Structure 1
Amino acid sequence: MSDAHDAARAYLKVHAQYRPVDATFMGVGGHDHQLPPAGPGSIEAELAALAALRGELGQVEAPATPAARIDARMLDAQLTTVMAEQRRAPRQRNPAWYTGEAAFGVVSLLLPGHAGEAQDTRDALRVRLEAIPAFLAHGRTHLHGRARPEDVAERARREARATAHLLTSGLPKHPLWDDSLRLPAARAARALLSFSEDLAGPDAPVACGEEHLDLLMRVTHALPFGPREALERATEAFERLTHELEARAARLPGDLPWTEHLARLEQLSPEPERMLSTYRNLHDQALDAARPLLTPAADYGLDFRFLPEWAEGTGDLYFLFYRSPAPLRPGDGSVYWVTPPGADQAAYLRANNCSFVKLVHAVHHGSIGHHTHNARARAADSVLARVAGTDCASGIALLGAGTMVEGWACYAEDLLAEAPGFYTPAEELLLLQFERRNAASCIVDIRMHLGEWTLDEARAFYRDRAHFAPARVWAETTRNAMFPASRLMYWLGTETIKALRAELNLDPKTFHDALLAHGHAPATVVADELRAAFPPGASR
């Protein structure tokens, strides 16, 4: 290894070896037929491989370029993070890890962005299906007699049932289906259902503890403070935003509370037959409105389609509307899934009201949000920043990228408030509520993992104070429990970007294009590079 980029590439080889489903989503060739190693000694083997890689870092040249510094910092943080996680709570002892990897080992090969000849992909799919029963059997061995949060086990049960449904009812409707898949799909489905029925065990608390949470914040996310300060900041912001929502609502016609203004937005929906065109039009409008503020990714397509028939019934899986294209083989465009109308049309229209489609689908995920950021990341000079934000089986590939990945997408929602007329006054209330909701998620993430709140207390806060949709609360808190420091990154990432913009005082397009050019690196790491590139007092 001669430099930080070589070291980063060496890490990705190890990452792909132990997380081959991630490799498929990244576009790393040679792993599409594999599921993760989960046999006896797999935890120890991975730790040994990571320790050997860390031992070789002493031979790497000191980084002299921004991209090399980013790779060096991200690699050091990633090695520290994964080794700490595998010693504290190995993923092989999480039942939902098995169901997530089994599900998305399959789904990753079914998505339209997957590159490769159909027969090669079908062969890889068959081999992965054949591997699922043994993979789950190894899971039983790792899980036997071990305590784990009951809600995490329940998530695994739901995922196992949803994946079994996919394999028996959905997969035969996919263009890749042929008779060679019938028997392995049936065996895999039976193994998943059996796994779901065999997850009884002692319950365990969800808190990872202050020491580990501090490591995730200061090392993984490269934040300059730990959980106590972050909790204080988020709590103050939550109360401030509550008062601001009340004050802004009082200035709108009707003398209505802010919650009623937002409820009325839910009644404004496109006709079902115009749903796809509404998504497309709002995406295009956001791209156009943002042009004075940054350079959008207009040269990489985003095709809005209804969720295909083969994917129906995957609601309990991490099946995203928008999934980042494989950065190492992105093709010339990607797909954005839109839920088709169901039996309950009123509920469907509320969930797809015009304002929610605009803020969440067209801006946060599409247009200048994840869509543009992912395009810029694929061209980044840093090896790790090109791939770190890849959506994988249960989250992004490298957690440390999250303050930039989600921080930018949330910031992008607010950014378009600077485009005259893009949002209505009521939609600006919704923006504030989204910010307030992210501060609430930061509070829950920290208080839960400090051991100050139980899952039930976290759920009561989400429901009664943060005004989360009741149907979302269980899944949200279970995700909080499984992935410490994965929800605080939204609000803290956005705050980092906002503070950096105010500090550098660049013109908007210069700032945003420079920020996005560094790809999926932690927001504070990118901030350090922008400070070096635009020092105080330099000519603007």
Structure 2
Amino acid sequence: MTSEKFTKIADDAVASWCAQYPDEATFLGEHRYDDRLGDPTVAAAQRRRAQLNTLIGQLAELPADQLDTADAVDRDILRTAVQSELLALTDLDEASWNPMLHNPGQALYGLLSRDFAPLPQRLSSVASRLRQVPDYLEAARGRLSDMSKVHVETAIGQLDGTLALIEGEIPAALAEAGTGTDLSGEISQAAAAVRSHQDWLRGQLPGAQRSPRLGKELFADKLALTLATPWQPATLLDQAYRDLDLVEAELSELTGRTTGSGTADRAAIAAEFSRLAADAPTSDTILQLCREALTETTEFVRRHDLITLLDDPVDIIEMPEIDRGVAVAYCVPVGPLETAPLAPQFAVSPTPTDWSQDRVRSFYREYNNHMLHNLTIHEAMPGHVEQLSHAHRYQASNRVRGVFISGSFVEGWAVYAEELMAGLGYRSDVSAEAAAGVRMQQLKMRLRSVLNTILDVSFHTGDLDERQAMELMTVRGYQEDGEAAGKWRRVQLSSTQLSTYYVGYLEVSGLVAELRRAQPSWSDRQLHDEVLNYGSPPVRYLRQLLGLPPAE
């Protein structure tokens, strides 16, 4: 009876979350709210806080000893998700100072980007959301105050992408649908509202003096909920600096062995990265190179029997202009609530059309042909696409684990997958140089994940400045200036997410090693399948599901 009660509470919680955030519900595959935008008002936030406090009370009344292991884990995952949302609505209150949260572009894009329903039906929802844009942005202005300059500047730029979507992609979709539907009025009014909102934000710039740093206490509270671990920021920072030295030592040994020079210093490592960076794609070649890399990574996984391949179709798409300029690729999984027969997307990015030649050159030196193979491992095979496809098949008594996935597990698995493939000699069948090139890029990405954590913690709990951050990334991380500059902006705009790569890698790789010791007769495929058989929970709960003791 207790499990039935929890299932009812869990399903109601997911339903109320989707109703509160209809744009995110669209991406999850819950389409009952596709005709709505969210409500950015203080009154809506107050109502939501009341719902969440009631939910916390309901969860507290469930006796843990009367739930089976899976439901007990899902109760804890749901409780963490609720606590995280409550923090966002109370002490953090980001909606009052981060204008990036109030951009209707993604809500519109979510209706165009996936064929979950006939295009005319989706365009009907687009029309409804377009009509709400003026009131939505007016309400956002009533909520926003005490903003930081970097958040305001970024929001203004991102709204340019929203305008391109409204005035370009929506008319193109209407033409494709061929129904003769006229949304010119809705498009004109929504575009005018976005431009007016941009003008208002520009007017706020002189007074946008808020620091983007969260501070020690707030960052620690958010980090604990993001990672679902007891890591303290100072301890995590110390561990990251130790691992930074270890990864650099691996790079030194590999570079020395590759170049025949013995142990390499930083100058020699930088020179080797520069040589590899010269083998760069272009905007004309990058999509095809990623298609070829996906074929190659899939064949390697199959040949080495690393995981049960689900052989789901994957849509390799050109990244829309609204998302370009941050990374060269990302994965869009099938929403956990989606019933339409969709395929996961592996989106690959040519550079934005307004970039200078120097900026394009820097971007493709960072995301060179060797890095593209490593990135394909991370984003697609056997990283995000394959892991999330396994998770999509997990059958539970409720929808909690599908909706509230652990970012640290998802990113940790992908970073672990990079190391797994490079360690087994991926591309050695092409040449020893090709395999060494991927291994160099994989170690560079390990450096990046460690540095992400150092930057995240040092900025939000300390006084890390731009000069120090750029030196860390370009010297110790061997990153191109453009990549480092973009990451510095991201550090200021976000908090705690950058730590998920490193912490997730530590947890996933440690879990796989412990499971291997516990089951020495298992093959790699058996081990990896077992890790991926339970959705995407935090590793601390995955240990519980696997019958392993808590990590020390």
Q: TM-score, normalization: structure 1? A: 0.87
Partner of 2:431: none
SS at match of 2:279: coil
Aligned AA (1:218): A
Aligned AA (1:253): T
Which deviations, in whole Å up to 9, do the C-alpha atoms of 1:141-177 show, x marking residues without a partner? 111xx22221111111111122112212333223358
Find out whether 1:328 has 2:314 as its counterpart: no
- Aligned counterpart for 1:525 among listed residues 519, 541, 546: 541
Report how many aligned residue pairs link the two structures. Answer: 516
Aligned AA (1:509): R
User: Distance between the aligned counterparts of 1:162 and 1:318, measured in 2?
Assistant: 16
SS at match of 1:336: strand
Which deviations, in whole Å up to 9, do the C-alpha atoms of 1:200-222 show, x marking residues without a partner? 13311222222233223334422
Which deviations, in whole Å up to 9, do the C-alpha atoms of 1:66-105 show, x marking residues without a partner? 42122111111111111112111223214434444x1100
Aligned AA (1:357): L
Matches within 5 A, 1:155-174: 155-174=154-173
Partner of 2:135: 134
- Aligned counterpart for 1:228 among listed residues 216, 226, 234: 234
Aligned AA (2:254): R
Contact 1:162 1:317 survives alignment (8 Å): no
When residues 303 and 193 of structure 1 are mapped into structure 2, their CA distance, relative to the original with a 3 A threshold, is same
Contact 2:102 2:140 survives alignment (8 Å): no
Matches within 5 A, 1:433-448: 433-448=444-459
Deviation at 1:366, TM superposition (A): 1.1
Q: Using the TM superposition, name which of 222-231 and 441-450 deviates more.
A: 222-231
Aligned AA (1:128): R
Aligned AA (1:162): G
When residues 247 and 533 of structure 1 are mapped into structure 2, their CA distance, relative to the original with a 3 A threshold, is closer
Contact 2:219 2:495 survives alignment (8 Å): yes
User: Distance between the aligned counterparts of 1:431 and 1:49, measured in 2?
Assistant: 44
- Aligned counterpart for 2:391 among listed residues 351, 357, 377: 377
> RMSD of the alignment, in Å?
2.9
Deviation at 1:453, TM superposition (A): 1.9
Contact 2:474 2:484 survives alignment (8 Å): yes
Find out whether 1:493 has 2:493 as its counterpart: no
RCO (CA 8 Å, sep 6+): is it higher in 1 or 2? 1
SS at match of 2:394: coil
Aligned AA (1:407): G
Contact 1:130 1:188 survives alignment (8 Å): yes
Find out whether 1:87 has 2:90 as its counterpart: yes
Partner of 1:73: 76
Aligned AA (1:35): L
Q: Using the TM superposition, name which of 439-448 and 416-425 deviates more.
A: 416-425
User: Distance between the aligned counterparts of 2:82 and 2:155, measured in 1?
Assistant: 27
User: Distance between the aligned counterparts of 1:295 and 1:49, measured in 2?
Assistant: 41
When residues 340 and 98 of structure 1 are mapped into structure 2, their CA distance, relative to the original with a 3 A threshold, is closer
Q: TM-score, normalization: structure 2? A: 0.85
- Aligned counterpart for 1:357 among listed residues 364, 372, 376: 372
Deviation at 1:464, TM superposition (A): 4.2
Partner of 2:196: 194
Which deviations, in whole Å up to 9, do the C-alpha atoms of 1:3-57 show, x marking residues without a partner? 4333322221121121111100000121111111123411111101111111222
SS at match of 1:326: coil
Contact 1:295 1:513 survives alignment (8 Å): yes
Deviation at 1:347, TM superposition (A): 6.5
- Aligned counterpart for 1:425 among listed residues 413, 423, 436: 436
Deviation at 1:522, TM superposition (A): 1.2
User: What are structure 2's unaligned runs of at least 5 residues?
Assistant: 262-266, 429-434
When residues 213 and 528 of structure 1 are mapped into structure 2, their CA distance, relative to the original with a 3 A threshold, is farther
User: Distance between the aligned counterparts of 1:426 and 1:317, measured in 2?
Assistant: 23
Contact 2:327 2:349 survives alignment (8 Å): no
Deviation at 1:448, TM superposition (A): 1.2
Deviation at 1:224, TM superposition (A): 3.1
User: Distance between the aligned counterparts of 1:38 and 1:265, measured in 2?
Assistant: 47
When residues 348 and 223 of structure 1 are mapped into structure 2, their CA distance, relative to the original with a 3 A threshold, is closer
When residues 264 and 296 of structure 1 are mapped into structure 2, their CA distance, relative to the original with a 3 A threshold, is farther
Which deviations, in whole Å up to 9, do the C-alpha atoms of 1:356-399 show, x marking residues without a partner? 22111x2111121110111111122342222334xxxxxxxxxx
Q: Using the TM superposition, name which of 509-518 and 228-237 deviates more.
A: 509-518
User: Distance between the aligned counterparts of 1:193 and 1:517, measured in 2?
Assistant: 47
Partner of 2:349: 339
Which deviations, in whole Å up to 9, do the C-alpha atoms of 1:105-130 show, x marking residues without a partner? 0110111x341232221110011111
Partner of 2:528: 512
Deviation at 1:316, TM superposition (A): 6.3
User: Distance between the aligned counterparts of 2:543 and 2:31, measured in 1?
Assistant: 33
Partner of 1:301: 313
Aligned AA (1:157): I
Contact 2:315 2:344 survives alignment (8 Å): yes
User: Distance between the aligned counterparts of 2:420 and 2:329, measured in 1?
Assistant: 24
User: Distance between the aligned counterparts of 2:8 and 2:347, measured in 1?
Assistant: 36
User: What are structure 1's unaligned runs of at least 5 residues?
Assistant: 390-400, 536-540
